[in-house]
Structure 1
Amino acid sequence: MKESLTAEAAIAPPKEPSRPGRTSADAARRRKRLVTLTRPWLLLAPALAVLAGLLLWPLIEVGKLSLQEYEVKFGGGVGTWVGFDNYANLLSNELLWRTVLPNTVFFAFACVVLTVAFGTAVALLLNRLGTTWRVICSTAIMAAWAMPAVTGTYVWVWLFAPEDGLMSRIAGGLGLIDPETTNWFTDRLAFYAIATLNVIHHGFPFVAITVLAGLMTVPKELYEAGMIDGASAWQRFWRITVPALRPIFLVVTILSTIWDFKVFTQIFLMPGGSGSNEDVMNLGVYSYIEAFAKDDYGSGAAAAVLLTLLLIAITLVYIRTLFRQGEEDL
């Protein structure tokens, strides 16, 4: 036994003595790794703190309010915890399922699709212009984006005003309607058609300028190769432009979805949109009416939380799609 142990000791290589330099090198690598991990968060910390104060804290307060029956009194308010009763009442409300949610979802879907499509068409047109005309046209369409939503909404209300509105007079002159008896804002479909035009007019410049920036990065050689291969303009768009700009399309779609789902001003300021016509309510207006018109702050907060959760779910789906697309490109 002793002889075998002696033989193994003779065969085994001698252990290297620990070197102080190696220990210091390992410690330096650990410090570098720690700095690499923490530096981005330290740089983001001020912005995250501001976002937490402006967004996260109010969201937490709204969530707490949705679990209470809140009564406003002189000098403040008193809240009584009721648990999920506000959510139970909200989800059992027939108006929510019959009118409010369908209006919110279908209106947002139509606005997102049409805004992205129209903005992309404008971007393709701008990309074909010379530098001077591109700057002039881009500046002109940015005026629509710079216009406040309140001002833009009143312009569209004026255009479709009964009797003396410009569109009412044109449609009456063509024999399509009777301007004296037709009110565009009482019909649910006509109301949301006008609201959709308003939202598209206000939102397409952002899509157009963003997509234009992406188009200017696509190599022209790809289009020239497509033309040599006999590809039509439509084929070049689907086979070259869309794949190259897919991340941009996903980003503008995510942002448009967030904006259009929580549209409030464009609905509330239109005749009947402030609650007098329940058939045209969306979730944002419904939350406002419940909280401030009916003094039911708990139900209004519950509707706001429901809208937030809906937006988060849709955004997560879009972001997951974006990341998956990025992994496939790699």
Structure 2
Amino acid sequence: MADLHSVPGASADQLTRRAPAPAPSSTPRRRSGMHGLLGHKSPLRPWLLLAPALAVLGILLLWPLVRVVMISLQDYGLRQIASGESNYIGFDNYAAIFGDSFLWTVVLPNTIGFAVACVVLTVVLGTAVALFLNNLGTFWRTICSTAIMVAWAVPAITGTYVWIWIFDPLNGLVSSVLDSVGLIDPATTNWFTERLSFYAIATLNVVHHGFPFVAITVLAGLLTIPKELHEAAMMDGATPWRRFWAITAPILRPVFAVVTILSTIWDFKVFTQIYLMPGGNGGNKDVFNLGVWSYIQSFAQGKYGMGSAIAVLLTLILLGITVVYMRTLFKEEEL
């Protein structure tokens, strides 16, 4: 810096501003390779962070699914399991499935009809219970919500055996009550042999186990609706039914969409409740659904290729429902 006395009339601040900036002492260091890959602007950063989870999903889900598809293209039985050999036959298993009238007259009607009945009853009952809980005080709402969640917490196996005992032909609660009033003869009545009564019991079982999820989910949505909307509608003379369809249903449309699609996915792949009931494990072919039919073909008859093809068919149906579910979620987010 020049001497202050060497520039006439210059102040110390002016000389300081005129002084050139000192040269940088060192050049900036280059980023390391790992820092560049994990930088905030790196396109690889999200994939590197997701890599462990994707690897686990690939091992636990993707590879078994690929293996099932490969087996479905083979005539795969006990001999192939023992020898490890492949016996590819193309799409012959799928042709045999779609050409079998048993699929169209028994399995698909059972699967689709049962799922539709369960979904409708589960959503309706869950919504009714949610409306009831919404009208309770905080204390009783907590008590009743905890009570209905017991049905959700009970394992499917335990719940199925309870319903089997209730409808037991000889010693069940229903048979005993109806016998006492002279409506049936327990010695000649078996609720599990007829296709309609079998699935009626299974529907009661699934709805009883599934409605708490719908009730608590819809209740959470009901608690977000401003009370002023219903109060204004009441002042205008709207009935409770009218208020539900004009206020509650439109606001809770995303909630109803989610619980309906999730219930559809769960009810299409019901296996335990059907298989454990008398006749559902292969003794009564009239009550097979896709899940049970796939299991019986694979593990009871040793036709693993055929069973895998049925499992792939069920998976494709569930994937289609899942696509609808995801599209619904994305549409609701856009709104």
TM-score range, shorter chain: 0.7 to 0.9
- Mapping of residues 41-190 of structure 1, within 5 Å: 43-73=49-79, 77-190=84-197
Per-residue deviation, 1:322? 4.4
Secondary structure, counterpart of 1:62 in structure 2 = helix
Distance 1:37 1:244, change over 3 A: farther
CA distance, structure 2, for counterparts of residue 36 and residue 208 of structure 1? 44
Structure 2 residue identity aligned to 1:283 = L
Which is higher, the Rg of structure 1 or of structure 2? 2
Q: Which residue of 2 aligns with 1:198?
A: 205
Normalised TM-score (structure 1): 0.85
Q: Is the contact made by 1:72 and 1:78 (CA closer than 8 Å) also made in structure 2?
A: no
Cα distance in 2, alignment partners of residues 48 and 127 from structure 1: 41
CA distance in 2 between counterparts of 1:48 and 1:254 reads 25
Partner of 1:258: 265
Counterpart-to-counterpart distance in 2, 1:264 and 1:271 = 13
Kept in 1: contact 2:77–2:305 (CA 8 A): no
SS state of the match for residue 201, structure 2?
Answer: helix
Matches within 5 A, 1:31-50: 35=41, 43-50=49-56
Name the SS of the counterpart of 2:86 in structure 1. strand
Q: RMSD between aligned alpha carbons?
A: 2.1
Closer, same or farther: CA 57–130 of 1 in aligned 2, 3 Å: same
Look up the match of 1:5: none
Q: Which structure 1 segments of 5+ residues have no match?
A: 1-30
Question: Which one is further off, 48-57 or 304-313?
Answer: 48-57
The answer as to whether partners of 1:69 and 1:298 remain within 8 angstroms in 2 is yes
Q: Deviations over 1:198-230 (max 9, x none)?
A: 000111111111111111111111111111221
C-alpha offsets along residues 148-198 of structure 1, whole Å, 9 cap, x if unaligned? 111100000000000211011112223322112100000110000000000
Corresponding residue SS for 2:283:
coil
- Contact 1:160-1:166 at 8 Å conserved across structures: yes
- Does structure 1 conserve the Cα–Cα contact (< 8 Å) formed by 2:118 and 2:267? yes
Contact 1:66 1:302 in 2 (8 A): yes
**Cα distance, 1:241–1:36 mapped onto 2, change above 3 Å:** farther
Q: For the residues of structure 2 that align with 1:45 and 1:309, how far apart are their CA atoms? A: 26
Q: Distance in 1 between matches of 2:159 and 2:83?
A: 36
Q: Return the letter of the residue paired with 2:284.
A: N
Structure 2 counterpart of 1:240, one-letter code: I
Q: By how many angstroms is 1:264 displaced?
A: 0.4
Deviates more, 1:154-163 or 1:64-73: 64-73
TM-score by length of 2: 0.83
Q: Which residue of 1 aligns with 2:14?
A: none
Query: Which blocks of at least 5 consecutive residues in structure 2 are unaligned?
Result: 1-36
Q: Alpha-carbon deviation of 1:231?
A: 1.1
The CA deviation string for residues 61-80 of structure 1, in whole angstroms up to 9 with x for no partner, is 11111111113357564331
Q: Which residue of 2 aligns with 1:311?
A: 318
What is the percent sequence identity of the aligned residues?
Answer: 67
